[in-house]
Amino acid sequence: MVNPYYIEGSKERGTVEKAKIPLISKSLDSVRTYQWEIHFQGLPTGLQLAGGKIKPLTLAAKSVSQIGYQVEDIEVHRVNDKVFYPGKASPEELTVTFDNLYQPHVADLLYKWFQTVYDPVTGTQGVASSPVTTSPNFKDTAVVILLDGAGKPIGGTKLYGIYPKSWKLAELKYASTNEFHTVEMKFRFDVAVHYDNAGIARNA
């Protein structure tokens, strides 16, 4: 028999005379969707500001899409039956939307990063890692840090081998709402690892 967890737990509220709030409320607090930061690490030369103290892409990032994996299905057919087994796993695309800040020029920084993958001016492509070329290494790492209500890091997800897949300016129009202009970037990454400890996520 399965006992109803919340109904059974509610009976304990009356037994705790000193409690001002129900016991259940202490277990329902959660990370908010707006308590986060994204940090891009090891950006190509030209995208990093002097001293590294200012992180313009972290400051400008306003939304991050879902981070996740999916496993492909292997269908096995035997007579009248069809069963499934897990196949190759692949990470999903990541979309980050940035506010187009004046200082520094965020749209320019993001475009320069995209140029390390493919430069529309010269028609050349970058090289992910090669000691015999002057092309910059466009693959990077990024970490999404989760914060508590006081702004303290409590965990994070690190993305290895991340690179920009697309660069897109937001629509321009006069009859618009009172919002900042944005730049949308789609990224691909090789591996995502989630850490419960934010310190490990930064240094891993």
According to the model, what pLDDT value does residue 134 have?
Answer: 52
**What is the band of 127 on the pLDDT scale with cuts at 50, 70, 90?**
confident
In terms of pLDDT, which residue wins out, 28 or 115? 115
Q: What is the pTM of this model?
A: 0.81
**What is the band of 132 on the pLDDT scale with cuts at 50, 70, 90?**
very low
- Of the chain, the percentage scoring pLDDT greater than 90 comes to 44
Q: Which CA distances in Å does 69 have to 92, 99, 151, 160, 190?
A: 6, 27, 28, 13, 10
From 72-76, 93-97, 126-130, the region with the lowest mean pLDDT: 126-130
**What is the band of 27 on the pLDDT scale with cuts at 50, 70, 90?**
confident
From 27-36, 101-110, 128-137, the region with the lowest mean pLDDT: 128-137
Q: Which domains does the chain have, with CATH numbers?
A: 26-203 (2.30.110)
The 8 Å CB, 24+ separation contacts for 171-180 are 180/62, 180/99, 180/100, 180/101
From 55-64, 123-132, 157-166, 178-187, the region with the lowest mean pLDDT: 123-132
Q: What is the DSSP string of 27-59?
A: G-----TT-EEEEEESPPTTSSPGGG---HHHH
The encoded tokens of residue 109 equal 């920084």
Q: Is 83 helix (H, G, I), strand (E, B) or coil?
A: strand
